[in-house]
Amino acid sequence: MGNRLLAIDPPKCGCTECIVGEYRPFDEASAFELTLMLDGFLADHTGLPRQQIIARTDQLTAGSIPAR
């Protein structure tokens, strides 16, 4: 056991670490995982502007809350 998530990788990444679960491709990361990265708990391997990461996080968060 112990495939702890360490970093967020670029979208569609298929490297060994992503396959075993140590890294997560950007497009598969949850809002929670992206928040951990923005807060510095996960390494940022995405190469994307912070603005775009925040926008994606907001999008995922909005999708998980029923619109009203």
Yes or no: say if 54 and 17 are a contact pair by the CB < 8 Å rule: no
Work out which of 3, 4, 5, 15 binds Zn ion, going by CB under 5 A: 15
29 part of the interface to Zn ion, by CB under 5 A: no
9 lies in the site for Zn ion, by CB under 5 A = yes
The least distance separating Zn ion from the CB of residue 17, rounded to whole angstroms, comes to 5
The answer to whether residues 29 and 21 touch, using CB atoms and an 8 Å cutoff, is: no
**Binding of Zn ion at residue 18 (CB under 5 A)?**
yes
Nearest to 35 by CA among 13, 18, 50: 50
Question: Footprint of Zn ion on this chain (CB under 5 A)?
Answer: 9, 13, 15, 18, 23
